[in-house]
Amino acid sequence: QYVGMGMDLAEAFPQAREVFEKADQVLGFSLSQLCFQGPQEKLKQTQNSQPAILTMSLAAYEAFKAHCGFGFKVPAYCAGLSLGEYSALVCAGALSFEDAVYLVRKRGEFMEEEAQKKPGRMLSVIGLDLAAARQVCVLAHTEIANRNCPGQIVLSGGVDEIEQAKITAKELGAKMTIQLEVSGAFHSSFMRQASLRLAQELDKIKIRPLAVPVVCNVTGNVLSSEVEIKDNLVKQVFSSVLWEDSTKFMLSKGIKHFIEFGPGSVLKGLMRRTDALAKVASM
């Protein structure tokens, strides 16, 4: 997330502006103003950054559809990394945007509250294979939060444990470690209580049948039912994000063109390290 995200879209496309306006109405405050003008300190709080990233991603998607006009093609698959799975479910017709932005606001609040109770950190580790990353977790008492692409794995754990993981990862041959700018140990057992509270919110939401297959973070495979969608959104909060598995699944189905919607081009970079021949456009 960054201050100014989506402002050019909202000015250029009424379809994108409508997405921001809907978010403001659902949340009861001006998320659009926070995205466009900041401040950054408030925008990066997870209860704000989650609905902000979702809104900007879907504003970009709606602008893209409008710009393509009759040339727009329904995707073969949708997928999103962590929070991005909600954007994917909206694109695939399973969630309304209004329900999604409400849910991710709640998800962010619950995750932030757990992070305050049990302080933790996340660490990106570059240059270790999965076996070595698992060894770091055993030695430093951390957990694997994300398997993003070959050679990039993210760990979650307590503050002291992540400090130890930095040292251990280097000792086992990691090229680099980067502490992420997040407020807690997300996608780990630290977040189990947040997932239970999210489950209660999901029970209030209508999930519709998928119009497009969605590849899910928890399994790296396609979701098949409304019950499975809810179960996986709950598990996702405290489980590893299998993004490398998800992208390899789509590649195995012959997908060679991907479009990334959101504030940045992180997924494009991850795909480049997974399959250098895949074509990715970032909107």
Residue positions annotated with a catalytic role: 82, 187
Torsion angle, CA of 22/31/266/182, rounded to 10 degrees? -140
SS3 content of the chain, % helix, strand, coil (to 5): 55, 15, 30
Nearest to 224 by CA among 214, 237, 234: 214
Location of structure tokens 């019950």: 227
Strand intervals (E) in 66-164: 78-79, 120-126, 143-149, 152-158
Q: What's the rounded Cα separation, in Å, for the pair 2 and 38? A: 8
Q: What is the CA radius of gyration of the chain?
A: 18
Q: What is the identity of the amino acid at 199? A: A
Query: 97-117 vs 84-91: helix axis angle to the nearest 10?
Result: 170
Using CA atoms, how far residue 45 sits from 38, 40, 114, in Å, is 11, 9, 13
Answer for the pair 34, 112: CB distance below 8 angstroms, yes or no. Answer: no
Could you tell me where the beta strands, DSSP code E, fall in 11-130? 78-79, 120-126
CB neighbours of residue 128 within 10 Å: 21
Distance CA 173, CA 165 (A): 12
Query: At which residue do the structure tokens 């993981």 appear?
Result: 165
